[in-house]
Structure 1
Amino acid sequence: MLTRKQHELLRFIQTRLEESGISPSFEEMKEALDLKSKSGVHRLISALEERGFIRRLPNRARALEVLRQPEDSGTAPSRAAAANANEGTGLVPPSRSAPAPVPANDVIEIPLHGRIAAGVPIEALEGQSMLPVPAALLGSGEHYALEVSGDSMIEAGILDGDFALVKRTNHARDGEIIVALIRGEEATLKYLRRENGMVRLDPANAAYEPQIYGSDEVEVQGKLAGLLRRYN
């Protein structure tokens, strides 16, 4: 059996997820349950997690998912229940409604692979760090980040020091901004163009000339999915 506060918190989280797809903040949970501090919320969440009623989504900040409800709650479980419920467990049957949206306030950590040139190609560095990114900036698929070095893409709104959020792919259409690996050693961020069996990498700065390579010299490593910028 859940305590009254545990039951109230579980119902509050479930209601907020169904209404907006966004996990409530600890401050919102504290106010909703009339608790004096956030430490009380932490204790309630830990207890619910230990008993298998909720889980924290990995690599995401402030993201919770309801796995099941007490049998007498009358509230349908979230989309995770369908994947986690088994016969004979006593869980509430899974909802048949459409999956809840991914919480808009999710933060996902993606690999940060060093710096990439937005001017003359430089060596692509492999980093060990991770970059937290709002999930709303990313679509489906696998992503990584690169720090932009140079000014050749400024007319596309890509500035030195920005973080390019890249969807990993080996295919891209003409006109898309890609991460191009040149001769297996250097990487650059440019518009992709193909013409006469050659690959042309176009800058977005009139001060720079296009770079032209043989089709076997350039490998698409991903295409731009978004940008992060820090203001100091």
Structure 2
Amino acid sequence: MLTRKQHELLVFIQDRLDETGISPSFEEMKDAIDLKSKSGVHRLISALEERGFIRRLPNRARALEVIRQTDRAGAASREEPGTVVPLNRKSGTPAPANDVVEIPLHGRIAAGMPIEALEDQQMLPVPAALLGAGEHYALEVSGDSMIEAGIFDGDFALVRRTEEARDGEIIVALVHGVEATLKYLHRDAGKVRLDPANAAYEAQVYDARDVQVQGRLAGLLRRYH
């Protein structure tokens, strides 16, 4: 059974898809069900996805498709909100088609700031063309250790979430479980070397067990002032 907020959000998404063929933005969903932040909407969307009511369509804006509907009558039909009604796939809502997606923005990637600690996340609109398959998140870059790779302070690093990476790739590495950094990855004889892209900085070498890959760099966004 869905919670009341999950039910309200699912009905709102259904109605908007029926009306326009495009699912609502996170801001519209936040206002429609009276939430304080878009991170709350993100959690509800994730819960609905896990329970099989919706799915996210890759590389499309507002990429939500309703798989199972709920009974809108609620108490009037003597059923709790959230009762499942199978969706007729032949007459189902057409999939939205656009070129912007929203991904979690976890905060600044800086020494002493593990990704997992950044719970008060926002959502960042990103051109879908910058992302490939898989789950992505964004981090705001702090510092100049990667400037020779074209990555500058204040850029937004678009990261594909993964625990696997090849030598020479730019990764988000969690060191000793407490420090997140964006560097080139190299492995050698049980060691991991994290290379900067700035001649003013030295490589960092650790035991392999002390470094966890948190994702691979997929793209960058930059603001011009």
Structure 1 match to 2:80: none
CA distance in 1, matches of 2:180, 2:160: 15
Structure 1 match to 2:191: 198
Aligned pair in 2 of structure 1 residues 150, 58: CA closer, same or farther (>3 Å)?
A: same
Aligned pair in 2 of structure 1 residues 134, 183: CA closer, same or farther (>3 Å)?
A: same
CA distance in 1, matches of 2:193, 2:102: 32
Match of 2:159 among 162, 166, 185: 166
CA distance in 2, matches of 1:191, 1:133: 24
Structure 1 match to 2:106: 113
CA distance in 1, matches of 2:208, 2:217: 20
User: Retained in 2: the 8 A contact 1:202–1:210?
Assistant: yes
Deviation at residue 59 of structure 1 after TM alignment:
4.7
Alignment pair present for 1:157 and 2:150 = yes
State the SS of the aligned residue for 1:201.
Answer: strand
Structure 2 match to 1:216: 209
CA distance in 2, matches of 1:50, 1:153: 43
Larger helix share, 1 or 2: 2
Aligned pair in 2 of structure 1 residues 195, 60: CA closer, same or farther (>3 Å)?
A: same
CA distance in 2, matches of 1:177, 1:162: 15
Match of 2:121 among 119, 122, 128: 128
CA distance in 1, matches of 2:102, 2:17: 27
Unaligned runs of 5+ in 2: 1-14, 28-60, 67-86
The one-letter amino acid paired with 2:177 is G
Deviation at residue 55 of structure 1 after TM alignment:
2.4
Aligned pair in 2 of structure 1 residues 209, 54: CA closer, same or farther (>3 Å)?
A: same
Unaligned runs of 5+ in 1: 1-48, 68-83, 93-99
CA distance in 2, matches of 1:86, 1:50: 17
Aligned pair in 2 of structure 1 residues 51, 181: CA closer, same or farther (>3 Å)?
A: closer
The count of residues paired between Structure 1 and Structure 2 equals 158
Match of 1:57 among 12, 16, 23: 23
Aligned ranges 1:174-193 → 2 under 5 Å: 174-193=167-186
The one-letter amino acid paired with 1:113 is H
CA distance in 1, matches of 2:191, 2:142: 25
Alignment pair present for 1:138 and 2:128 = no
Deviation at residue 114 of structure 1 after TM alignment:
1.0
**What are the superposed Cα offsets for residues 24-82 of structure 1, whole Å, 9 maximum, x if unpaired?**
xxxxxxxxxxxxxxxxxxxxxxxxx66947521355897699x9xxxxxxxxxxxxxxx
State the SS of the aligned residue for 1:158.
Answer: coil
CA distance in 1, matches of 2:157, 2:121: 16
Aligned pair in 2 of structure 1 residues 64, 172: CA closer, same or farther (>3 Å)?
A: closer
RMSD: 3.4
Larger radius of gyration: 1
**What are the superposed Cα offsets for residues 179-229 of structure 1, whole Å, 9 maximum, x if unpaired?**
000111110000000012100000000000000000110000000000000
Structure 2 match to 1:19: none
Match of 1:147 among 136, 140, 145: 140
Aligned pair in 2 of structure 1 residues 140, 196: CA closer, same or farther (>3 Å)?
A: same
Runs of 4+ in 1 over 3 A off after TM superposition: 49-54, 57-65, 84-87
CA distance in 2, matches of 1:56, 1:114: 29
